[in-house]
């Protein structure tokens, strides 16, 4: 199947539009029916373009057939939603996603030696471009206190002096950069720790036409941390990136902002509250339905107050 059969958009088209207009397209991760439809509801309410992101583990969790069945049955506006493989680690998984109907893939070769990252990224670009599918690649290693998804505890910021050559040699459509964000719930030691905007500015100067991508950009709303702890959870010192810092990054050519943890927090906080305050509930549709609504609420808030992507479709 090709993504056009599902009326999906090419990510590159969405990002170019965003860059020209000064907003960012949110990439929200999903892994089941509730998270998928919660995100699509937010897109439809805000009239925002959206990138539906699926990690390798989420793809296995849903299974390719169920995932594509849900996409086929979902309601969304033609040509405004992209389906994106998040952190693909091999040519094979990127090819598989393209064959399933994804409209873009990320090849994450950030932990490879530079020459190998370039060679593999280029090989994947040559494959996906044949089908008008977009490619995102990464330079620099994300990490803060400890990175949960890339399993990295040491950070190396993206080197602005190599980005131009990297983009030229790989033919990548967009580039994920490491400027101090990290995946997961424990991103910052203190609330006022700043991202490396100086590095971002230099990168944007080197490759002004390439949309840049910010991974690990969850804000970790503290109301959810408190709610989880109040209703039996035990999560301490979880801290994200401030909305103001993400907005500033968007003004410096970040055109795609990746959010996963915030939805996990919204979901978990809601489930804990519903089950604790309504002890007789045993129908999963009750607490999953509430959790879905909470994700939609949070996505709407981030679209309107961080991304600036509302009313862009
Ligand atoms: O950056 C990756 C996403 O947060 C997905 O992580 O492999 O736990 O689904 P995951
Ligand atoms: P968060 O863990 O900050 O939500 O990052 C998600 C992400 O980068 C997915 O690729
Ligand atoms: Zn990521």
The full 3-state SS of 57-98, as one line of letters, equals HHHHHHCHHHHHHHHHHCCCCCCCEEEEEEEECCHHHHHHHH
Task: Give the CA dihedral 89, 181, 9, 170, nearest 10 degrees.
Answer: -50
DSSP tag of 306: I
CB of 264 closer than 6 angstroms to any ligand 2 atom: no
pLDDT recorded at residue 168: 98
Residues assigned a catalytic role: 86
pLDDT recorded at residue 149: 65
Nearest to 101 by CA among 141, 128, 137: 128
| Centre of ligand 3 from the C-alpha of residue 138, in Å | 10
**3-class DSSP assignment, residue 138:** strand
Phi, psi dihedrals of residue 105, rounded to the nearest 5°: -135, 150
Helix runs in 177-260, H state only: 197-206, 222-230, 243-251
Nearest-atom number in ligand 2 for the CA of 149 is 2
CB of 88 closer than 6 angstroms to any ligand 2 atom: no
CB of 183 closer than 6 angstroms to any ligand 2 atom: yes
pLDDT recorded at residue 191: 73
Sign of the CA dihedral running 132, 28, 149, 267: negative
Nearest to 54 by CA among 110, 106, 108: 106
In this structure, CATH architecture of domain 3-307 = Alpha-Beta Barrel (3.20)
Tens digit of each residue's pLDDT (9 = 90 or more) over 146-177 = 566 666 666 699 999 999 999 999 999 999 99
State both tokens at 113.
């030696």
- How does DSSP assign 143-198, residue by residue? -SS--SSS--SS-B---TTTHHHHHHHH--SEEEE-SS--SSSB--SSTTPPP-HH
pLDDT recorded at residue 190: 80
Positions in the chain short of pLDDT 70: 144-155
The residue count of the chain comes to 313
Q: How far apart are CA 181 and CA 141, in angstroms?
A: 10
Q: How far apart are CA 151 and CA 127, in angstroms?
A: 28
| Centre of ligand 3 from the C-alpha of residue 216, in Å | 6
State both tokens at 169.
């040699």
DSSP tag of 239: B
Nearest-atom number in ligand 2 for the CA of 263 is 4
Q: How many helices (H) and strands (E) does the chain have?
A: 12, 8
State both tokens at 276.
């604790």
Given the DSSP bridges, would you call strands 81-88 and 104-107 parallel, antiparallel or unpaired? parallel
**3-class DSSP assignment, residue 55:** strand
Tens digit of each residue's pLDDT (9 = 90 or more) over 106-131 = 999 999 999 999 999 999 999 999 99
Q: Domain boundaries in the chain? A: 3-307
CB of 259 closer than 6 angstroms to any ligand 2 atom: yes
pLDDT averaged over every residue in the chain: 96
pLDDT recorded at residue 146: 54
> Which residue puts its alpha carbon closest to atom 4 of ligand 1?
260
**3-class DSSP assignment, residue 235:** coil
Nearest to 299 by CA among 6, 42, 91, 20: 42
Tens digit of each residue's pLDDT (9 = 90 or more) over 299-312 = 999 999 999 999 99
> Which residue puts its alpha carbon closest to atom 1 of ligand 2?
216
Please, what is the end-to-end C-alpha distance for the chain in angstroms? 25
pLDDT recorded at residue 150: 65
**3-class DSSP assignment, residue 2:** coil
The residues lining ligand 1, judged by C-beta closer than 6 Å to any ligand atom, are 29, 55, 57-58, 86-87, 149, 183, 260
């Amino acid at each position: 199947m090709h993504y056009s059969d599902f009326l999906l958009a090419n990510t590159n088209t969405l990002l170019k539009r965003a860059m020209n207009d000064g907003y960012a397209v949110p990439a929200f991760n999903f892994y089941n029916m509730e998270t998928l439809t919660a995100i699509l509801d937010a897109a439809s309410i805000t009239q925002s373009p959206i990138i539906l992101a699926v990690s390798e583990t989420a793809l296995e969790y849903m299974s390719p057939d169920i995932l594509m069945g849900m996409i086929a049955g979902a309601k969304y506006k033609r040509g405004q939603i992209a389906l994106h493989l998040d952190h693909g680690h091999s040519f094979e998984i990127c090819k598989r996603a393209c064959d399933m109907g994804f409209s873009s893939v990320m090849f994450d070769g950030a932990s490879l030696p530079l020459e190998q990252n370039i060679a593999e990224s280029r090989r994947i670009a040559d494959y996906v471009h044949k089908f008008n599918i977009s490619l995102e690649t990464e330079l620099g290693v994300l990490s803060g206190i400890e990175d949960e998804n890339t399993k990295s505890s040491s950070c190396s910021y993206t080197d602005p002096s190599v980005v131009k050559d990297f983009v030229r040699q790989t033919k990548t459509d967009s580039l994920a950069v490491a400027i101090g964000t990290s995946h997961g719930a424990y991103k910052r030691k203190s609330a006022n720790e700043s991202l490396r905007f100086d590095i971002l500015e230099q990168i944007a100067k080197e490759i002004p036409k390439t949309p840049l991508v910010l991974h690990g950009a969850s804000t970790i709303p503290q109301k959810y941390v408190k709610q989880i702890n109040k209703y039996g959870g035990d999560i301490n010192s979880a801290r994200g990136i401030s909305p103001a810092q993400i907005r500033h990054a968007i003004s410096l050519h970040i055109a795609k902002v990746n959010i996963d943890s915030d939805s996990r927090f919204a979901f978990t906080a809601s489930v804990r509250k519903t089950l604790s305050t309504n002890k007789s509930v045993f129908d999963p549709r009750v607490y999953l339905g509430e959790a879905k609504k909470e994700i939609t609420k949070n996505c709407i808030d981030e679209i309107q107050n961080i991304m600036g992507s509302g009313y862009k479709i």
